[in-house]
Amino acid sequence: MDETWDLPEHPELRDGDVLLRRHTATDLDAVVEQCRDADTVRFTTVPTPYGRADAEGFTAGLTAAWDRGEVAGWAVEAGGRFAGTVDLRHRPAGWAEIGFGLAPWARGRGVMTRAARLALAWGFDELHLAGVHWQAVVGNTASWRVAQKCGFRREGEVRGLLVHRGERLDGWIGSLLASELVRTAAPSGA
């Protein structure tokens, strides 16, 4: 009963010039560029080397995972340009896990904090999530800052928490309850 969500039509969510929308075929080149970035390789599970077929599989996989109710994922646009991805992955009994990544050009100006807040607000409001977990490789301070600015509590450092390309890495883990989300002032659905 609780293995997936019953997701609605894919919504667009907006906060100023940050837009969350479904991925399209026009995003593929930018996905490839993003996923060849050194920090993306270091801190996420993207395949490496990363080619156009990986980007096609990733975007098609996200669409299929939405249809199956397993992942609520969005392309992040900043100023009208594809900048990255944010997603909420289904976990049993009313929880989700958040994942995100941005192209280097879009980093360091609050784009992912705004995108994550939009996705989290939608998850709490529309999916009635009780809580969301966040995990990152130990030392991924930029990821932690995003989580912290959304209201997450960092609760531990766990040896061997994450598996990246067959290797176990130590990870940070944190959680956010529905009442704790730091919401962006007056986001509007598009």
Ligand X SMILES: CC(C)(COP(=O)(O)OP(=O)(O)OC[C@H]1O[C@@H](n2cnc3c(N)ncnc32)[C@H](O)[C@@H]1OP(=O)(O)O)[C@@H](O)C(=O)NCCC(=O)NCCS
What are the residues binding ligand X (CB under 6 A)?
39-40, 43-44, 100-102, 107-113, 136, 140-143, 145-146, 149
To ligand X, the closest distance from the beta carbon of 132 in angstroms equals 13
Which residue, among 83, 170, 89, has the nearest Cα to 123 in the 3D structure?
A: 89
Question: Closest CB to ligand X among 109 and 159?
Answer: 109
CB 121, CB 187: distance < 8 Å: yes
To ligand X, the closest distance from the beta carbon of 48 in angstroms equals 13
98 Cβ contact list (under 8 Å, min separation 6): 86, 87, 88, 89, 116, 119, 120, 132, 133, 134, 147
- The token duo for 188 is 């509007």
To ligand X, the closest distance from the beta carbon of 183 in angstroms equals 15
To ligand X, the closest distance from the beta carbon of 39 in angstroms equals 4
Question: Closest CB to ligand X among 119 and 136?
Answer: 136
Which whole-number Å values give the CA distances from 31 to 6, 54, 86, 183, in the listed order? Answer: 27, 9, 13, 27
Question: Closest CB to ligand X among 68 and 81?
Answer: 81
Question: Closest CB to ligand X among 9 and 49?
Answer: 49
